[in-house]
Structure formats: structure tokens, C-alpha cells
Amino acid sequence: MLEKGLVQIYTGDGKGKTTAAFGLALRAAGHGKKVLIYQFLKPSSLKLGERLALEKTDLPVTIKALEAKWDITTSQDNPADITAAKAAIAEALEELAGLARSGEYDVVILDEIVYCLSKGLALFEDVERLIKSKHEVCEIVLTGRGASGSLMELADLVTEMKLLKHPYNKQIPARKGIEF
């Protein structure tokens, strides 16, 4: 167990937020810490390299994914998708608050929850309640673009990934094993 769990946020428009969170998960698990990673907006049907790698280990890392239908390119304009995502996220945050409070996990990572907040899919009050009610030794890590000032005030550490240059601007698509 950690002596004191803190709250970390990885935000910004640059690449590397999820990668940093998974790196922290590996570091914690390497020291025998129990880790829960909950991926919002990345359903289990996506074959993501970070999940595939952890599935091949016996590290104490549990990965869960929000299974609500959500497509970043089409769902933002679809009221039914928005409503379904909001309900699923609220339910997930309630479950996660209980897990963070229980002390069952040393580290809880909420991948893309910051983006969900910035797009109005999650309520700030739900995330704030999760953070404020966490077990004193549980580390909470939130990732995603668009962290608000109010959210950053709740954190002990905020890292901003800043985009300076990206291959996508040269029409180089996301590459298996590098970007996903």
C-alpha cells in the first residue's frame, strides 16, 4: 500500500496521456501494487496494444472498458448516443467510487474521463465525489484532453502533453503498435 494516494491528471492536445498512465500502471504493478484501469470511450472490442500486452502477463492489473456505443466521429451529434453514454459513464463512476473507497486497489486509472468531462458526457460532481471519497492510500490518475481549472484544482499533479508536431498532419494514419 502507498502511504498516501495522490490525484494525477495527464491532459493536453499532445500524444502520450494514456501511454503515461499505462507506464505508471506497469511501474506500480512491478512493485506489487494492485491497479485498476477503466477506459472510457475505448470499448473492449478495440484491439489496443496496451490491453493486449497486459493480458499476456500475470501482473496485478485489471482493465475494464465502458461498453456504451460511442464513436468520436458520429456520436457527438447523435442525441441517443449521448444519452446512453452519459448514463453508462454515471453508472461506471459510481462503481469506481466504491472501488476507490474500498482500498481494494492501490492505483485507479480513469482513461479518457477528462475528455468525457470536457464534452459533457460525465458530470464534474461525479468525478469530484470519486476523488474526494477515495481511500487515503489510493492513487487516482485521470487522462484526457480538456482538463478544466476546477478539475486541476482537485489534483496534486497535472501534466500537460503539448502538441508541437504530429504525423497525422502529414496524412500518416495511426499505426498499430505505436498509436494503438
Q: How confident is the model at residue 54 (pLDDT cuts 50, 70, 90)?
A: very high
- Asked if 108 and 96 touch (Cβ cutoff 8 Å), the reply is yes
- Give residue 174's pLDDT: 85
Instruction: Say what the pLDDT of residue 67 is.
Output: 85
User: What does the pLDDT read at residue 146?
Assistant: 97
Average pLDDT, the chain: 92
Supply the pLDDT for residue 1.
Answer: 66
Q: Where are the domains of the chain?
A: 7-162
- Entry pTM: 0.91
* pLDDT over 90 at 95, yes or no: yes
Percent with pLDDT over 70 in the chain: 97
- Helix intervals (H) in 31-167: 49-55, 79-102, 113-118, 124-133, 149-154
Residue with the larger pLDDT of the pair 41 and 106:
106
Second CATH level (architecture) for the domain 7-162 = 3-Layer(aba) Sandwich (3.40)
Pick the closest to residue 8 from 119, 143, 104, 134 (CA basis).
143
Q: All 3 cell numbers of residue 43?
A: 470499448
